[in-house]
Structure formats: C-alpha cells, structure tokens
Structure 1
Amino acid sequence: MNKAERANLSDRTRARGIRVAGVSIILLGVGAALLPAETGISSDVLGALLVAAGLIEVIAGSLRRDVRPYEMTAGAVTAAAGMLFLINPETRFFPTVWPIAGWLLIRSLILAYASTHTSGSVRMWTALSAGTDFLLAVLLIAGLSIAAVVVSLFGPTPPLIATFSWILAASFVATGLLLLEVASCEREQLNA
C-alpha cells in the first residue's frame, strides 16, 4: 500500500481493520490451543496457522501509523516460520524446536525495538508482546513442557504437538491483544 492509498484510508477504517486483525489472530490462538484435542495433527496445520497469523499481522502492520515497517516485518517473520513447516520436509516435530524458538526470538527482538518508537499504552502492549514471545522461546529452548497441562485437559497427545500448540496460542493471543490496544488508540485519536 503506497502513501497515497494510506492517506485515503480514514482513521475509522484504519482502527476497524486493526481491530478485525486483532480479533482474527486471537481466534487463531484459540484454534491453536484446541489443536491437541484433535488426533493426528501434522506440522502442516501448525504451518498454516503461522502463515495465516503472519499475513494478518502484515496487513494490520500496513494500517499502523507508527512502527509500520517493524510490525510488517514481525508478521513476515511469522509467515516465513509457517512456510518452513509447509515446504520443508525436514522441519518435522523434533527439529521444529529450533525454527519455532528462532521465530519467537526474532519476533521478540523486532517488537522490543518497535516498542522504543511508540508511546503510552501501545508501548506497554508492544513490550508485553515482545516479552511474551521471548519467554516462550526461553521455555521452549529450556525444554519446559506445557504438555502436562494439555494432557490433563485433553487426554494423551504427542507432547511436542501440545507444546507447540500452546506456544502458538500464547503468542497469538498476546499479538491479538496488542492489535486491539492499537485499534483502541486509533479510535481515541479519531474522537480527539
């Protein structure tokens, strides 16, 4: 979207688009959290979730006033991580720890840097989203498993699938909440 097209978007349209993106990513997070309830989940499903969330985040980033390139880059990194699952046959469950951890670390660095270029509650939510992704990467690298919670809720599932599903869900929810806060701030600027 070039500058002329962005200028034609009303503040209301911009806020509405970001809000829809936030809700969509939260719904993807809910879907990711429910994945362990299914049997035979393939890495293709996880990849598709990442690609969808990444594309939604790129679109939402293009609607942002501030930190547009950083938010779009964070979305592109998410989509690229998803593409690894979809096209690389070597990226199956055991080797998947590193692409997921790498995605979370890179994304957290991009968002942490973006938070230095924002202010107020958007800064706080951007930093919170960056911190969430960083902590999830550390948990994943350290090998702490969320699978025990998943198994107690959904019954026996492959632990790696359960862990990745919950990691994706937590990251998606943090991103969705960030976008909802950005939409709220856009709406406040409209009413000011």
Structure 2
Amino acid sequence: MATDSHSAADHAARARVIAFAGWFILLLAAGAALLPVISKAHGALIIGAMLALSGAAEVIAGSRRLETKKLAMLAGAITMAAGLFFATEEATGFLPALVIIAGWLFLRSIVLLAAFFLEHGSVRRWTGIAAATDFALALITAAGMSIATLVVMLFATREPFIASFAWLLAISFVATSMLLLEVANCARSEDV
C-alpha cells in the first residue's frame, strides 16, 4: 500500500511541475500577444528572452515526463537555443530573424511529430495539434519572407516586423501550454 501512495504522490508532484510550466508558458503567450501594442523597441531582445524562458520551462516539464522525455526536452532546448540566438547581436538583421523564427518553428514541429507517433490518447492529440500549429506557422513565416524583405528594403524599417513575431510566439506558446496542461492532467494518474 505504501508503494501505491508513493506512486500517487510522485504522479501528483510530476503533474504540478508540468502544470506550472504550462501556466507559465501561457503567461508568456499573453505577454507576447501584447508586445506589438506595448513596445516595438528592443523587440528582438524581448522575443529572445521569451523564447529562452519558454524553452527552459519546457525542458523542466519534459524532464518530468516518462513516455517521451527526451523528445519533450529536445523541443524545449530548440526553443531555448532560438531564444538565445534571437536575442544576440547576430539576429539584429531582418533576414536572420525570419530564418531563426521559421527554423525554430519547423524544427519544433518535426520533434513534436516524432513524439506524436510515440504517445497515445489525449496527449497524442494535443501533441499533434502543437506540431501542426508550429508547422503551419513555419510555412506562413517562410512564405512571408520575400514580401517582408521587400518592405524592409524599401522602407528601411524592421522593428514593426520584429514585434509582429510576437504573434507567432503567442500562438505557438498557447499550443505548447495546452499540451503541457493536458500532460499534467494525465500525469496525475498515468505514466506520461
């Protein structure tokens, strides 16, 4: 009987960590959605910090998973790396910023797709939704590169475009947070 209570306590502890990460990323999504309205200055630094924080939360949550632990942590590590690179001087130009965002979304979608095939139930469904969301956002970003590049070349302004990446982050963060909240819900009783 002690083993069952320990197991239930472990499930509850894992669920709390994963749920906290999910709620934290949801708060970051709200902040990202407000970024274009609040401030266009220092957009690359703020977006980079949001990506890095979200990735760190996802790595922590992934470390508490049992089924797809490595893939969940890899998705978070990709987000952290994109955030750190985005916030550096290397990402101050417009094209590198687009490439970072599109690459981040594409790589995440591939990792989440791999996890999708290893999961089951509602977690599998939410992983598929998160993978499809990131892939669609990557395609939208890639398709918009040539048009946005022309606008930047003609008008020599990039801060509004950098701030508009915040909407992409917000959408991806919402999908990620919903996935983590579902994982937390299932972790209370299962080995996910």
Shift of 1:186: 1.2
Instruction: Write the letter of the residue equivalent to 1:81.
Output: A
**What CA distance in whole angstroms lies between the structure 2 residues aligned with 1:117 and 1:80?**
24
State the 1:138 CA deviation.
0.5
CA distance in 2, matches of 1:116, 1:14: 22
Q: Percent identity?
A: 47
Paired AA for residue 28 in structure 1: L
Q: Could you tell me whether the CA contact under 8 Å between 1:41 and 1:161 is conserved in 2?
A: no
Deviations 1:68-88 (A, max 9, x none): 00000000000000111223x
Q: Pick the structure with greater CA Rg.
A: 2
TM-score (norm 2): 0.84
Task: Measure, in 2, the Cα distance between the counterparts of 1:168 and 1:29.
Answer: 7
Q: Which amino acid aligns with 2:60?
A: I
Deviation at 1:65, TM superposition (A): 1.2
Written as runs of structure 1 = structure 2, the 5 A alignment for 1:133-148 is 133-143=134-144
Query: Equivalents in 2 of 1:161, 1:91: separation in Å?
Result: 10
162-171 vs 55-64, which moves further? 162-171
Greater Cα shift, 69-78 or 34-43 = 34-43
Structure 1 residue ranges (4+ consecutive) displaced by more than 3 angstroms after TM superposition: none
Deviation (angstroms), 1:178? 0.1
The residue that corresponds to 2:13 in the other structure is 13
Provide Cα deviations, 1:66-119, integer angstroms capped at 9, x if missing partner: 1000000000000000111223x1312512001110000000000000010000
- For residues 35-54 of structure 1, the C-alpha deviation after alignment (integer angstroms, 9 at most, x for no partner) is 01223133111100000000
- TM-score (norm. length: structure 1): 0.84
Partner of 1:123: 124
Aligned counterpart, 2:66: 65
1:140 is matched by which residue type in structure 2?
T
Q: How many residues align?
A: 172
**Cα contact 1:43–1:93 (8 A) shared by 2:** no
- Matches of 2:17 and 2:105, distance apart in 1: 25
Residues 1:100 and 1:94: Cα distance change in structure 2 (over 3 Å): same
Matched, 1:169 2:170: yes
Partner of 1:178: 179
- Verify the 8 A CA contact 1:93 1:160 in the aligned structure 2: no
C-alpha distance in 1 between matches for 2:110 and 2:138: 12
Q: Any idea what the Cα deviations from partners look like across 1:16-64, whole Å, max 9, x if unmatched?
A: 1111110000110100000012231331111000000000000000001
Counting only pairs closer than 5 Å after superposition, residues 1-192 of structure 1 correspond to structure 2 as 10-39=10-39, 40-87=41-88, 89-95=89-95, 96-143=97-144, 158-189=159-190
C-alpha RMSD of the superposition = 2.1
Distance 1:139 1:165, change over 3 A: same
Q: Can you give the 5+ residue segments of structure 1 that lack an aligned partner in the other structure?
A: 1-6, 145-156
Cα distance in 1 for partners of 2:136, 2:69 equals 24
